[in-house]
Amino acid sequence: MKGVVAFDSVHGNTKIVAEAIANQIRSEGHEVHLINLRESTPSGVVGDFLIIGSPTRAGRPTKEARSFVESLGTSWKGKPVGTFDTVGPISKDPEKRAKWMKMIDEDSKNAAIKLRDQCTAQGMRATSVLHVAVVGFTGPLASDGVQMAKDYAHRFLVSLK
**Residue 158, pLDDT score:** 97
Structure pTM? 0.94
2-159 belongs to CATH 3.90.1720.10? no
Instruction: Give the residue extent of every domain in the chain.
Output: 2-159
| pLDDT tens digit sequence for 9-64 | 999 999 999 999 999 999 999 999 999 999 987 888 999 999 999 999 988 999 99
Mean pLDDT of all residues belonging to the chain: 93
- Mean pLDDT, residues 117-132 taken together: 95
Question: What is the distance between the alpha carbons of residues 90 and 96, in angstroms, rounded to a whole number?
Answer: 8
